[in-house]
Structure 1
Amino acid sequence: MTHPALVPPLAIERYRVLEPHLADGIPLADLARTGTLSERTLQRWLGRYRAEGLAGLARLPRNDRGRLHLPEHLVELTRTLATKRPRPPVAAIHRKVQELAIAHGHRTPSYAAVARVVRAIPASQIAAASDPAVYRDQHELVHRREAATSNEMWQADHTVLDILVLDDAGTPVRPWLTVIVDDHSRAIAGYFLSLDAPSALNTALALRQAIWRKPNPEWIVSGIPEQLYVDNGSDFISDHIEQACIALKIRLIHSLPGRPRGRGKIERLFRTINDMFLPDLPGHLIAGKPLSAPVLT
């Protein structure tokens, strides 16, 4: 298995392009028609992936070696511009990226470098930007059915708890809870408590606990899910989480911004914790006001 931290960005970009075929069985010919890559190129990438895994997707053709690669913030700008409605031509995107590169003192990227980033954007992401309603009907709703078995789908989310605890300096603060729940059994697969706001690290630690077998024999939930359903928070769309899911062959599904679906189970769990567990603890908050002084650390 490829360690998530060692997955090259090029392999991630190519995997994103192939994912609709690998996960949903969409023909490569259809991906080629909706994207900017030829079917032959997609077949070559697919052959490398099946033979070598992600390492095969990281291989550069000889004529790509030594080319300038864009800094991450320029890659993100390119992706953002390429998924606007209506989608601008690559030449216009290239001009904008050049302007930002000059403003930050970077070498100006070539047209080909920007075009490679645009070509690597998954067709599903372009569809979501061009017509969110159609994307929601054809993509997200397909995956938001009720899971038929355990470990078919896990959900991950965060909440700030209705309680004050003391940090290392003795200052009262509200802790954050990250939870991963099995969609079928509603069992908690993993969690992480932190005094800091949600981050990719917190999510990764909760996912690690969810996957590994627990020391408590009564806590039997573990394994690798087929799908992980998350929202569009910055921690959930981080490269680290995406790389971990790709390496573990977990299908990562993001809800559309402002349109979360199927979140009732995890939201009810959060309400149960806040309404039934925390009221007996010192520092519990009602309407933002503590009923007693915090003492927990």
Structure 2
Amino acid sequence: MRRLLALRQEQKLTTRHVRLMAQSLEVTERTVWRWLAAAERDESAAAEPGARAQSKDRFSVTPEVRRLLALWKGNVAAVHRELTSRAARGEGAPPPSIPTLHRAIQRDLTPGERAGLAGGERAARKHDVFLARPRGWRNQVWETDHVQAPVLVDVEGRARRPWITWFTDCATNAITGVAVTPVHPSRESVLAALRSAVLREDPYGPFGGLPERVRVDRGKDFLSRTVTAAFDLLDVTVEDLPAYTPHLKGTVEGLNRAVESMFLAALPGYARQPRPGKRPSRPKDEVLLGFEDFTARLLAWTSWWNTEHCPAPLRGRTPLEAWQDDPTPLRDVAAADLWTFTLDDAGTRTLTTRGIRFRKRDYVGPWMTGQSGIQVRLRFMPHHDHRIEVYHAATGRYLGPADLAAQATEEQVSAVRRARAARARRLKKDLEASQRERYAAVNQPEAPQRLGTLTTAQAEAELAQAAGTDLSDLAMPDLIPPAAPPADWRTPPSLVTRTAPGRPAPVPSEPAPGSTAQTTEDGDAS
């Protein structure tokens, strides 16, 4: 526009110049002539052709308007009503019209600011521009995460939504390892997925090996002592990302979204499937997949993703082709060593004639014959308390597994679980009843009136019971040690140190003068 102004001042401006400008800007010639006239009146209009002419009376967004937008979640009409009511009370100038307020907000606030005032930081982040990490080499960086499948699965007669834990390679988009749990995942799920990710032999290969780094999202399972110790032993750096930053591990987050739209949405029992009618509940005659069938289908889809699917970042290649085209050498670990590294260490124990005592239970194995008295080190898979792995304490040599002695039958375990569930339901019902508060309904402004009265005796009884419970919690049984037992008792040495020393025998005092006579006199009187 400044060039056109210079040509006009030099009296060299022609229609051809205006036509070329209109074609380059994809506007009409009339629009360019209008912009040129506005630039002659105001030089600032030449910098922003097409912008509305600025004037002193033009309304602009103030800090107060921004605060009201945040208060009313981006509702411009509500902000206008608030400004109008304040002006009626004499607390400010009358606001402009709603269209003017809309134009000012569109002009003075960016799309990210408008989204942030309406929906918070996460909504504003959708309008940000993020840099893409350079695509490195295989096993340079892995990402891991838990995701709850929106599919109901039959688990021992109950409908549950299983959880998936997997590791993915950022360079090739390959799913290196996966583990499925019927309930909430734990560190055991992470270790199981890690073993399947590192091993490259059947049925896990050809993806695997040790990565250089692993990105996690501050989940307590991924940062537990057992998992971090396993990563340290395997010489893998754990990159702990800040909280609530899923955009920093976009590879695995994209996998979480893809598995739902590409696989889970077509399974029976999909929880987010639109339902006919008014009720969103699933039909009673719907047949759910068993947990074993669901796991088999998920593993088959994982194989399809790795060998047949072509993700967009790979530009027409499958993850398998990208993996095989990468000449980066791999670091492998023997399966036996990997199993040892991914077990939790329980310290050393002494092998006795009853086996190994661990968590107040005995564990035995056929290899223990003739081994009583040696020192062993225990390792176990978290939450798998039916078996432990035993190693020699001095040499670290693997001795063998040990199974739980006197293990309960499946019927007994089921009965115990049913009893625990019934007790939990009763306790929950009693707790909800004790915390329920009722208030009287009102149709006029008045103070809330609590319903439910107690007699004086009931109130005193509850307060006395609560006070007695509080005092029992403060009791310290070992504060005053018990007195020493008699000398002729055979007391274990471990208990002698926990008793108070014996008190010296009292020295008999001499009777005072006249006491004998008084005693005799009293005795005669009796």
Measured against the shorter chain, the TM-score band is 0.3 to 0.5
Q: Which has the larger radius of gyration?
A: 2
For normalisation by structure 1, the TM-score amounts to: 0.48
- Which one has more relative contact order, counting CA pairs under 8 Å at least 6 apart? 1
More helix by share: 1
Query: What is the TM-score normalised by the length of structure 2?
Result: 0.28
